[in-house]
Amino acid sequence: MTVKPPPVLNLDGYTDLPPEKIATIVTYLEMRERPRLPSLCKPDGWTLERMNGNRDRYRSLFRQVGAPWLWFSRAVMYDEKLAEILDDPGIEAYALHDGTADIGILELDFRGEKEVELVFLGLVPGTIGQGAGRFLMNEAIRRAFAQPIDRFFVHTCTLDHPAALAFYIRSGFTPYKRAIEVADDPRLLGFLPPEAAPHIPVLGSPETTKDAPGCGAS
């Protein structure tokens, strides 16, 4: 049987991908000093609740927030690996709760030397435009620069909400690098439902996965 070689990235044109793969352009951004934060009155009942010790809650919220945008990094992660991350004292994972349900996620990584990563910031469908994103960003910046850091950084990609990049820039982040990420389509592997991220068509055929990492905890 002849094995077809993988495609070579064409930096001046198109590159065909196998149907089971997805690709996105990643933009990296950083913030070197704390910006002046816009004022925001937090609605009554909103609370930030730490969820590092509650893996099931984390997986559920991550899926609610991320599935519409094909967030897959935590969705395909084994429970043991996710627990290792969430149990690390340098990781802070929060749920934004509105008094009735979790409506947003915020995750910060303080493990770097004099730098903090904004790992995830997102909202469940139907809550965008109500100030929750700005509240989470203000909290992220405040918490990051409460430490003696030189840099606060984040990355976003073209799979994300179309307003995400502009939101980061308005918040004080400066773009400094781009990359192309290619990965297996998590919907074809059973980690996300086939109807997730309908703006990104499913091209391959779903596979049956008996031991999908972490699926039992979601």
**pLDDT at position 207:** 64
- CB neighbours (10 Å) of residue 193? 11
pLDDT in tens, 109-167: 999 999 999 999 999 998 877 889 999 999 999 999 999 999 999 999 999 999 999 99
pLDDT in tens, 162-179: 999 999 999 999 999 999
% of residues, the chain, pLDDT over 70:
93
Q: If pLDDT is split at 50, 70 and 90, which confidence band does 39 have?
A: confident
**pLDDT at position 1:** 60
Extract the runs of DSSP E, i.e. beta strands, from the chain: 21-31, 47-50, 91-97, 102-109, 115-123, 151-157, 174-184
DSSP state at residue 204: S
Domain boundaries, the chain: 43-195
Among candidates 97, 63, 94, 91, which has minimal Cα distance to 77? 63
Please state the φ and ψ torsions of residue 48, each to the nearest 5 degrees. Answer: -95, 120
**pLDDT at position 9:** 84
CATH number (3.40.630.30, 3.10.20.30, 3.40.640.10, 3.30.420.40) of 43-195 reads 3.40.630.30
Residue 209 pLDDT > 80, yes or no? no
